[in-house]
Structure 1
Amino acid sequence: MATPTDLPAQADAQPGGSDAPSTELPPDEVLRDPPESDAAAEAERRAPLPWRTIALGTAGTVLLMLSAVGAGGTLIHDPLIGTGPLSAIRYGHGKMLATATLYIGFALVVWAWVRLGRHVLAGRVAARPVLLAAVCWAIPMLFSPPVFTRDVFSYLAQGAQALHGFDPYAAGPVVLNDYPDLVQNVHPFWQNTPAPYGPLFLLIAKGVAAVVGQHMIIGVILMRLVLVPGLVLTVWALRGLVHELGGKMSVTMWLAFASPMTVVHLIGGPHNDMLMLGFLTSGTLLTLRRKHWAGIALATLAMAIKPTAAMALPFLVLVWAAHLPDEKWGRRFLKALAPSLGIFVGLFAALTWVAQLNLGWIVALRAPAMVENWLSAPTALGEIVHSLVRIFVDTPIGFYTIPARVLGGLVLAYVGVKQWLRSRDGGPDAVKRMALILFLTAALSPVTMPWYLMWGFVIATAMAWQRRHLAIIGALSVFLVLTYTPGGEDLLYDWWFMACAAALSVLAGVSLLRPDPLGLFTTHHEDPEADKPVATR
C-alpha cells in the first residue's frame, strides 16, 4: 500500500502524464470546502507535494523566459544583445527557433497546469501546494522579456510623460521626442494614444520611470515587481472570499494563480490588472466583513488603477447597506451611500492631485475602442453582419460595428441595473452578481483584451464550481493566451492558427476530466489510493 507521500510520484508516473485516476471524474460534482475542523487543518499540513508537476511547469516558464529574448516583446535596440552574433535569435531562422521553443515552453506550462488540476480534482493536494506551484512557475516570468504583449512599454512611456511634464491624458508617448528608447519600443498602434488608466497607476508608473530612466530592461522588471503585490493581496483576499462564497480553496488557487492566464499573461505581460485585482478583491472581502470604510477605500484604489473597477462600487454599497440596522431599505441605502461617496470622492481627488493630473482619463477611455477584435461580443456581431452583407454590397465595417457596440453598451446597462437591484440583500449574493457584471463589462465592451476577462473571473473563482465547468474554463484559459503572438500581435484573424489553438485548448480542458482523452495509451496503472482524498481543502 502506498503512503500519502508516494501518491504524487505514482500519479505523475502514469502513462501520458496522467495525474488522475484512470476512471473519469463525475463532471457535475460541485466542489466545495467542508466545514473547518482540526482534522482538515492537519490534513492540509500533511498534504503531499506534486514535485514532478511543479518541476514540469517551472521548466516551461524557464523556456518561456529564455526564448522570449528572441520571440517575445523584444527591444528595438537591445543593449545586451546588440547587433552581435546573438542577435540572430531575433531574425530569420533564429527567430523561428526561438518562437518554436517559446510555444514548447507554453505547452509544458499548460501540461503542468492540467496535471496539477487533476491532483486538485482528485483531492490529492491542498491549496498550499497549488500556491507553491504557482510561485515556482511565476518566478522565471518576473525576469522575462514581455510575452504576448508590449503593454509594459506603454506603461513606462506614460510614466515618463508624467515625469517630464506631459499630460498622459492629452497625448500619446510620441511627444517624448528626447527619449527615443521609450517611444520606439511602444507598439506603433499606441504611440499616439493617451493613457486610459487612473491617477494611482500613472503615479506608480511615474515613480518607476524616475528610477529607471531609459533603461528598458530594468524598467520591465521593476514594473513587474511593483505590480506583483497585487497578486499577494489577491491571495489574501481569496482565502477569505472562498469561505464567504462557498468555494473550494485548492480549486480557487488553481484557477486564480496557477493558470496560464495569470502566469503568462498577467505576470509575463505584465499587465496592471494584477494590481487592480489586488485592491478590488481585498476591498470586497473587507466590505463583506463589515470593515466598510476600508473596503470602499480599497475598491476606490482599484478604480484609480483601471477605471473599469468602478462597476464594482455600487454592489459594495449594497453590501454595506445590508449590514445596517434600519428596517427600511431606502434609509439603509442612503446611510451607506453618503459615506461611500465621501470616501470615493475624497480619495480619488487626493490621488489625482498628488499625481498632478486631471480627469482626462474619462475621455481617454475611448482609446482602446480603436482596437477591433471578435473577443468583444458586440464587435463580433458587427463583423458577422458585415461579412454577410458584403456578399451582396460592399459597405464600411463601421456601419455595423458601431451600432453593435452601442447595443452592447445598452445590454450591459440593462443587465447591470437589473443585477444591482437584485442585490439589495447584500452579502455573498451581491458579490456574485458583481463578479458577473465585471465579466460582462469586459465581454460587452467595444474592445475585449484576453486579460480583461480576469476582472470578474478572479472573484468568481471563490465560488463553488462543477467539474465540467472547470474543464470549460481550462480550455478558455489556454485559448485566450494563444490569441496573440509572443511578440504581442493579434492572431484572432489567422483562422488556421485559431482553429489549431481551439483544438488544443479543448484537449487541455477535456484532459482535466479524462486521462488520455485521445486514447494514445491502452494501459493505465491503477492506484488503489488514488481516489482517497488526502486533503480536505
Structure 2
Amino acid sequence: MPRPAVVRYGGLAGSLALAAAAWLGGATDPWQPTITPGTIFAGDNGVLLPLAWLAGTGLLIAAWVAGVRSAPTARWAYVTAVLWMLPLLAFLPLGSYDAYSYACQGWQQSAGLDPYGGGVDVLGCPWADAVAPTWRDAPAPYGPLFLVLAGVAAQTGSLTVTLAGLRVIALLGIALIAVALPTLARRGGVPPGRAVWLVLACPLVPIHLVSGAHNDALMVGLVAAGLALAIRANPAGSAASAGFAASADSATSAGRGAGAVADSGETIRATGRRADLAGWAAGLLLGLAIAVKATALVVVPFALLLMIERYPQFRGASPGPVDSREVSSAQRRKFGPRPWWLGPVIRVVAGALVGLAAASLVSGRGFGWVTALSGSGKSVQWTSPPTAVGMAIGLFGPDAVPVTRVLGIVALAFVLVVLWWKARDNNPLRYAGYALAATVLLAPVFHPWYALWPLAILAATLHTHLNWLVVPCAVVSALCLPDGYNLALAVKTQGAVAMTVFLVWIVVHEAKIRSAGRRRADHVADRLSGPDA
C-alpha cells in the first residue's frame, strides 16, 4: 500500500501536469476543434501537450485509486483534495466548452433577454464564437437559479471575469458537498474519510467541476446538503434521540424531581422545533437544486422517506427514566392526531416548491426552462446505453435512437418507482444514490461529469463493491481531451456495438443468477418437505 505522502503529492503532480495541458491547449476562445487523436498522432499539437495530458490524467487517476484504501482521516482527504484543485483554478477550462455556453446564457440573462427563447445564433452573445456549434441554436436547458447566478457572473461584460465567476459558483457547490458528506457518511455507516476521498478527490472533480466549471457541482452540492438536512429533520429520530439525551441528563441529576421532567420535556420540544426547521430547509435546498438542473427532482421522494422513516430506537424503545406522560404529550403534539408523517412531508414539499418558485420569480423567466430541456438530447453518443442500442440497431436498419431513448425514459420511470418502493424498508439514502445512478444510465445523453451525481451519495452509503464506483469514474475521467474532444467520438461504431453487447451480457448474466437462486430455493423446499424433515 502506498504511503499517504506518495498518494498526495503524486496526485498533485498530476494536477500540475493537467494545468500545463490547460495552458497549452485547454478550451479556448474562439472554439476550434484542434485537438483530436488524429492531430495528436500527426504531431500537430507538439509533444508537450499530449504528454502533459496523459501524465496528468494518469497520475491523478492512479493516486485517487491508491488512496481509496489509504486515506487516513477526513481532514487528510479534505486537504489533499483541495491541493489537487488549486493548480487548475487559473487556467483555461479543461475537457469541455460548456463554460462558454454558460457565459453566453448568463450574458443574455443580464441583458434582459430570455435564454429559454433561443440559442446564441438567435439572441446573440459577444462570446458566441467560443460556444460549440452543437449548442449554438439550443436554448438554455438549465433552471432559473443557475441563470440568475450566471447572469451575475456575466455583468462585467468580461469573458475572463465571467469564467472566474462560474468557477466560484462551482466551488460553492463543491463546498456544500464537503460540508454534507460527514452527515451522509454517518447515516450510511461509512467512514467519513473514505467518503470524502471517494467524492472530492475523484479526478472528475478537479478536471470537470473546478476546471470545467460545470453547474453539476452546484446541483450535486444542493442535493447533498438537502439530504443531510432531511436526515437531521427526521422527527422520530429527533424525538428518540432527545429522549435518550434527556434520560442521560436526568440520570446525572437524580433528585431534581419535577424540574428534571420539565427540562427533559423542553429538550424534546426544542429538538422537535429544530427538526421542523431542518425539514423546511431540506425542502428549500432540494427545490433550489431542481432550479439548477431538473435531474435533482428524482431525489425528492427519497428525501421524504429519510424524514418519515421510523428509526429503530423509536420503535417501542423507551426514551429512558423521564416522565412518560411528558414524553407522550410531546409526541402527541408532534405527531397527532393527524398521521405523524404528514407534517414532515408537507414541509419538504412546500419548501421545495418555495425554492423553485422563488428562483423562477427572481429570474423573471417563469418555467420556460422545462420546455427547453428537450434540446439537451442533441448530442448522440454511445456512452448513453439507450442511445448506444439505437446506434447499434441503426447499423443494420433504420435510425432507432429516438425510439430507444423513449424506451430508456419509460424504463427509468419504472425503475425509479421500484427503487422508491424498496427504499421504504431499506436505506432511503442509498436508494437515492441508486436512483441517480439509474438516471445517469438510462438518460438519452451521458457526459463524464454525470458520474458524480450518484457518486456523491453512494460513496457515503456503500460498504462493499466499491469497484462499481471507482472503475467507471476512473475510465470516464480520461474520456475528454484538454480542449473538449470526447474520445468516444473516435470509436462511434465500435463503442455502440460494445455497449450493446455489454448490456445483453448483463441481462443474460442477471437472468442466470436469478434462475440459479430459484433452483436453490426449490431444492431446499424439497428437502424440508421430505419424510425425514
Whether the aligned pair in 1 keeps the contact of 2:203 and 2:474 (CA below 8 Å) is yes
Counterpart of 1:484 in structure 2 is: 480
Q: 1:164 aligns with which of 76, 86, 111?
A: 111
Q: 1:279 aligns with which of 212, 222, 230?
A: 222
Alignment CA distance shift 1:494-1:457 (3 Å) = same
Q: 2:289 aligns with which of 294, 302, 306?
A: 302
Amino acid at match of 2:372: A
Counterpart of 1:313 in structure 2 is: 300
Question: What is the distance in 2 between the residues matched to 1:203 and 1:107?
Answer: 37
Question: What is the distance in 1 between the residues matched to 2:427 and 2:7?
Answer: 36
Whether the aligned pair in 2 keeps the contact of 1:435 and 1:457 (CA below 8 Å) is yes
Counterpart of 1:259 in structure 2 is: 202
Whether the aligned pair in 1 keeps the contact of 2:284 and 2:354 (CA below 8 Å) is no
Counterpart of 2:133 in structure 1 is: 188
Question: What is the distance in 2 between the residues matched to 1:274 and 1:313?
Answer: 18
Question: What is the distance in 1 between the residues matched to 2:191 and 2:29?
Answer: 42
Counterpart of 2:391 in structure 1 is: 383
Alignment CA distance shift 1:329-1:278 (3 Å) = farther
Amino acid at match of 2:195: T
1:85-234 pair list within 5 angstroms: 93-120=44-71, 125-177=72-124, 179-180=125-126, 182-211=127-156, 213=157, 215-234=158-177
Alignment CA distance shift 1:434-1:207 (3 Å) = same
Whether the aligned pair in 2 keeps the contact of 1:197 and 1:307 (CA below 8 Å) is yes
Amino acid at match of 1:74: T
Alignment CA distance shift 1:127-1:335 (3 Å) = closer
Amino acid at match of 2:136: Q
Question: What is the distance in 2 between the residues matched to 1:312 and 1:117?
Answer: 26
Counterpart of 1:441 in structure 2 is: 439
Whether the aligned pair in 2 keeps the contact of 1:491 and 1:498 (CA below 8 Å) is no
Question: What is the distance in 2 between the residues matched to 1:369 and 1:473?
Answer: 25
Q: Can you list the C-alpha shifts for 1:294-314, whole angstroms capped at 9, x where unaligned?
A: 111111111111111011112
Counterpart of 1:73 in structure 2 is: 27
Larger RCO: 1 or 2 (CA < 8 Å, sep 6+): 1
Gaps of 5+ in 1: 1-17, 21-49, 79-88, 503-537
Whether the aligned pair in 1 keeps the contact of 2:430 and 2:462 (CA below 8 Å) is no
What's the TM-score, normalizing by structure 2?
Answer: 0.74
Per-residue deviation, 1:376: 1.4
Question: What is the distance in 1 between the residues matched to 2:45 and 2:493?
Answer: 21
Q: Can you list the C-alpha shifts for 1:395-432, whole angstroms capped at 9, x where unaligned?
A: 3x2xx11221121111111111122223335xx71121
Question: What is the distance in 2 between the residues matched to 1:134 and 1:410?
Answer: 38
1:306-385 pair list within 5 angstroms: 306-322=293-309, 331-332=339-340, 334-385=342-393
Whether the aligned pair in 1 keeps the contact of 2:304 and 2:344 (CA below 8 Å) is yes
Question: Does 1:236 find its partner at 2:188?
Answer: no
Counterpart of 1:407 in structure 2 is: 407
Whether the aligned pair in 2 keeps the contact of 1:378 and 1:446 (CA below 8 Å) is yes
What secondary structure is seen at the aligned counterpart in 2 of 1:365?
helix
Question: What is the distance in 1 between the residues matched to 2:299 and 2:346?
Answer: 17
Question: What is the distance in 1 between the residues matched to 2:360 and 2:24?
Answer: 39
Question: What is the distance in 2 between the residues matched to 1:173 and 1:261?
Answer: 28
Question: What is the distance in 2 between the residues matched to 1:330 and 1:408?
Answer: 40
Per-residue deviation, 1:317: 2.1
Question: What is the distance in 1 between the residues matched to 2:346 and 2:162?
Answer: 41
What's the TM-score, normalizing by structure 1?
Answer: 0.73
Question: What is the distance in 1 between the residues matched to 2:119 and 2:485?
Answer: 20
Q: Can you list the C-alpha shifts for 1:45-104, whole angstroms capped at 9, x where unaligned?
A: xxxxx33432222222122112212222122299xxxxxxxxxx9x96445531332222
Per-residue deviation, 1:318: 2.7
Question: What is the distance in 1 between the residues matched to 2:45 and 2:416?
Answer: 50
Question: What is the distance in 2 between the residues matched to 1:308 and 1:496?
Answer: 26
Question: What is the distance in 1 between the residues matched to 2:337 and 2:103?
Answer: 47
Q: 1:495 aligns with which of 474, 480, 491?
A: 491
Amino acid at match of 1:356: G
Amino acid at match of 2:65: V
Per-residue deviation, 1:498: 9.0
Moved more, 478-487 or 408-417: 478-487
Q: How many residues matched?
A: 423
Higher helix share: 2
What secondary structure is seen at the aligned counterpart in 2 of 1:465?
coil
Whether the aligned pair in 1 keeps the contact of 2:226 and 2:285 (CA below 8 Å) is yes
Q: Can you list the C-alpha shifts for 1:109-161, whole angstroms capped at 9, x where unaligned?
A: 123223323423xxxx2222122111100001122211111111111100001
Amino acid at match of 2:490: D
Per-residue deviation, 1:472: 4.3
Question: What is the distance in 2 between the residues matched to 1:496 and 1:103?
Answer: 22
Alignment CA distance shift 1:111-1:333 (3 Å) = same
Counterpart of 2:7 in structure 1 is: 53
Identity value in percent = 31
Amino acid at match of 1:322: E
Whether the aligned pair in 1 keeps the contact of 2:291 and 2:356 (CA below 8 Å) is yes
Question: What is the distance in 2 between the residues matched to 1:356 and 1:67?
Answer: 40
Alignment CA distance shift 1:108-1:422 (3 Å) = closer
Alignment CA distance shift 1:96-1:244 (3 Å) = same
Whether the aligned pair in 2 keeps the contact of 1:19 and 1:119 (CA below 8 Å) is yes
Question: What is the distance in 2 between the residues matched to 1:424 and 1:119?
Answer: 34
What secondary structure is seen at the aligned counterpart in 2 of 1:237?
helix
Q: CA RMSD in A?
A: 2.7
Q: Can you list the C-alpha shifts for 1:339-390, whole angstroms capped at 9, x where unaligned?
A: 3332222322121111111211111111111111122121112122223xx2
Alignment CA distance shift 1:418-1:474 (3 Å) = closer
Amino acid at match of 1:419: L
Counterpart of 2:469 in structure 1 is: 473
What secondary structure is seen at the aligned counterpart in 1 of 2:487?
coil
Counterpart of 1:460 in structure 2 is: 458
What secondary structure is seen at the aligned counterpart in 2 of 1:372?
coil
Whether the aligned pair in 1 keeps the contact of 2:285 and 2:352 (CA below 8 Å) is no
Per-residue deviation, 1:176: 4.7
Per-residue deviation, 1:457: 1.9
Counterpart of 1:506 in structure 2 is: none
Question: What is the distance in 1 between the residues matched to 2:492 and 2:131?
Answer: 28
